[in-house]
Structure 1
Amino acid sequence: MHTLKATAASSLSLPAETYIYTIAASAPGIFAAISSDDSLRVFDAATLDRVSVISNKTHDAGVTSLRSYAAGESQLLVTGGREGKVKLWDVRAGNAVVEMETARHAPVLSVACNPENNTIVAGTELLSSQAVVAFCKPARNASLISEITTNLTAAVTQLQYHPTRSNMLLSGSTDGLVNVYDTTIADEDEALVQVINHGSVHHAGFLSERTIYALSHDEQFSIHAATDPDDSAQEPEPVHFDDVREPLGCEYVVQLCLGAQGPYIAAGNKIDKRLDLIPLVSTPTWRFDLDNLWRLPGAHGDEVVRSVYLDEQSQSVFTCGEDGFVRAWKPVDGGDEDVQNPAGSGKISRPKDKKQKDRFKPY
């Protein structure tokens, strides 16, 4: 086991009793956060206290989702709200430059972005026995999301584009289904290329180009091969971990984090006041590498951690939670020379022993 220590903490000048839902990268060294007071704020990763309020009222009925919309040098963010709107924010300008509405103002629960083809996609709550995945191409005069929709029978809690194939979109919903679509195909039935029945989806996404994971609201976890329509080879059987709370020694799972060193499961324990980042490794088969987990002692006290971000640039881990704080974490000095920083691009560097320059000494 390895340890990360808290190096900074900030309430982002939020009102007392405010939850911080999600943090996301806005630009190198700059992060954004959405909170239960419906604000959108950005802060400096180096200090956490340099905070700018982009909007005090991001969405009229409550903000639900946040994603970075990377587009060249622009600092753009996408949010979704319960009033049925998706907004594209220009951080530098400090305002929403595009607003779009779902049909019948269906509350938006999840969003995903694909700057490669200039597309934003929104997943909605169930409204009149129907939920929708709606696509749009943002423009400054946009007012309505495109009517190109895929109809579902449960709330859409997760959306993610394929890491290399911009036409492939994954959705997860509370009916337990993880669907993968080819968005270039207009016919809904033909566009659906894969269906995974997992359980009410909390998080789901691509572990790699050929691998999908799913995490349910009751902490059931599984890994599946992604279907390749152009490959007729037989797919390997899925790996079902069932309820991971007991084997991971946690009360809840925050999310799966993809870092430079691979995937980690972020698992929280309120009683012990800790958060663990547990490597998920594929050799010889998919398993949790509990011997090499990273522990964040204290975490967010006895409050739930809501979001985790592994920042390779600063080689730091950022967390936010229901205590209303963002916290920054770095490895504790000392330990094994070969330890891999979960947020770094390689091994943690250790200084040479000044008295014996010809050998390394761990501190």
Structure 2
Amino acid sequence: MHTLQATAASSLSLPAESYIYSIAKSGPGSFAAISSDDSLRVFDAANLDQVTVVSAKTHEAGVTSLRSYATGDSQLLVTGGREGKVKLWDVRAKKAIMEMETGTNSLTTACLYPARHAPVLSVACNPENNIIVSGTELLSSQAVVAFWDIRSPQTPRLQYVESHNDDITELQYHPTRSNILLSGSTDGLVNVYDTTIADEDDALVQVINHGSVHHAGFVSERTIYALSHDEQFSIHPATDPDDAAQDPEPVHFDDVREPLGCEYVVQLCVGTQGPYLAAGNKAQLELVPLVSTPNWRFDMDNLWRLPGAHGEEVVRSVYLDEQSQAVFTCGEDGFVRAWRPVDGASQDVQGPASSAKVQRPKEKKQKDRFKPY
């Protein structure tokens, strides 16, 4: 077991009693945060108190999601909101890279509307193909995965409307294949699509039945994870229709709260050191390595502990920043915190945000859930 210590903390000058929902990379040395006051703020990784308010009111009915739209030197961010809009932000200019007729007086955002203005709960970005994707709340018996080409955003380029029958809580692109998209929903399904196929039935290349999805995504090119709202966790092979070899069986960890000694799971974090499951309680947050050899398991001997975490408040988001070799967290206490290995830690021990991949030493042989916003 190793320890990270909090080296900095900031409220980002938010109003009292604000929650910070999520943080995402904004640009070199900077991060973005969305919070319960509906603002979008950017802060410096080296000085958390150096804060820029990109928008004091990101969405009219409440901001729900945040992703980085990384392209060259541009600092672009995408947010989703409950009023049914997706907004693309230019951080440096603090204004839109495009303007549309939205029916409001907004001059600082470009708004992309999914069908019927259903609340947007999740977003994903594919700058390689100029695509932004939104996933909606169930409305009029439909939950929609809508694809927008930012070069002509007036109408969706593509929509999948039948694959989910409840709120779409997660969207993520494949790490190397820009045509493969994953979605997760409270209907219990994790779907994988080939987005080059317009027909929805044909586009659906894999379906995983897991339980109400809190988070899901790619652990690697050939591996998918799913985490439910009641802390059920599982690992699945990503189906390759071009590979005739038989896929390995999925690994079901079931409810991980007891084996991990936690009250809730925040998310899975993937870095060059491998994947870590961020598990928390009122006393601490732990980053538990998930290893695949000889079988998928949690490496409890090499976990990283963040003592105190965010006090008695829930941690909402964790980011492993390999540029600054720090871990950033945010939570319902309204603070962002930066964490680094304690002074005097062994130089042979790589932190969870270290950029160099190291070989793990061989093991010695020895005889109340919060609701998502």
TM range (shorter): over 0.9
Give, in whole Å, the separation in 2 of the partners of 1:85 and 1:145: 12
Give, in whole Å, the separation in 1 of the partners of 2:354 and 2:160: 39
The aligned amino acid for 1:201 is: V
Give the Å deviation of 1:347. 8.0
Give the Å deviation of 1:147. 4.9
Partner deviation per Cα, 1:187-239 (whole Å, 9 max, x = no partner): 11111000000000000000000000000000000000000011010000000
The aligned amino acid for 2:60 is: D
User: Counterparts of 1:242-261 in structure 2 under 5 Å?
Assistant: 242-261=254-273
Change (3 A) 1:347 1:182: closer
2:128 corresponds to 1:116: yes
Larger mean Cα displacement after TM superposition, 285-294 or 335-344: 335-344
Give the RMSD, CA atoms, in angstroms: 1.2
The aligned amino acid for 1:11 is: S
Partner deviation per Cα, 1:232-275 (whole Å, 9 max, x = no partner): 100000000000000000000000001120000000011xx200
Give the corresponding residue for 1:235.
247
Question: What secondary structure sits across from 2:230 in the alignment?
Answer: coil
Give the Å deviation of 1:334. 2.1
The aligned amino acid for 2:340 is: K
Give the one of 180, 186, 205 matched to 2:217: 205
Give the corresponding residue for 1:356.
none
Give the corresponding residue for 1:28.
28
Question: What secondary structure sits across from 1:104 in the alignment?
Answer: helix
Give the one of 148, 157, 160 matched to 1:149: 160
2:315 corresponds to 1:315: no
Question: What secondary structure sits across from 2:96 in the alignment?
Answer: strand
Give the Å deviation of 1:53. 0.3
Give the corresponding residue for 2:316.
306
Give the corresponding residue for 2:306.
296
Give, in whole Å, the separation in 2 of the partners of 1:181 and 1:13: 41
2:146 corresponds to 1:134: yes
2:370 corresponds to 1:336: no
Aligned length: 345
Change (3 A) 1:282 1:347: closer
Change (3 A) 1:186 1:145: closer
Give, in whole Å, the separation in 1 of the partners of 2:194 and 2:40: 32
Give the Å deviation of 1:91. 0.3
Give, in whole Å, the separation in 1 of the partners of 2:234 and 2:154: 39
Give the Å deviation of 1:28. 1.1
- Contact 1:337 / 1:347 at 8 angstroms: preserved in 2? no
Question: What secondary structure sits across from 1:18 in the alignment?
Answer: coil
Give the one of 151, 171, 188 matched to 2:200: 188
Give the corresponding residue for 2:5.
5
- Contact 1:341 / 1:347 at 8 angstroms: preserved in 2? no
Give the Å deviation of 1:186. 1.1
Give, in whole Å, the separation in 2 of the partners of 1:53 and 1:236: 48
- Contact 1:339 / 1:347 at 8 angstroms: preserved in 2? no
Question: What secondary structure sits across from 1:96 in the alignment?
Answer: coil
Give, in whole Å, the separation in 1 of the partners of 2:87 and 2:347: 46
User: Counterparts of 1:41-190 in structure 2 under 5 Å?
Assistant: 41-97=41-97, 98-139=110-151, 142-151=153-162, 152-190=164-202
Give the corresponding residue for 1:358.
none
Larger mean Cα displacement after TM superposition, 293-302 or 98-107: 98-107
Give the Å deviation of 1:129. 1.1
Give the corresponding residue for 1:276.
286
Mark the runs of 5 or more structure 2 residues left unpaired by the alignment.
Answer: 98-109, 359-373
Give the corresponding residue for 1:224.
236
Give, in whole Å, the separation in 2 of the partners of 1:213 and 1:221: 7
2:18 corresponds to 1:18: yes
The aligned amino acid for 1:146 is: R
User: Percent identity of the aligned residues?
Assistant: 80
The aligned amino acid for 2:63 is: V
Give, in whole Å, the separation in 2 of the partners of 1:147 and 1:242: 35
**TM-score by structure 1 length?**
0.93
Give, in whole Å, the separation in 2 of the partners of 1:200 and 1:173: 6
Give the Å deviation of 1:337. 3.5
Question: What secondary structure sits across from 1:148 in the alignment?
Answer: strand
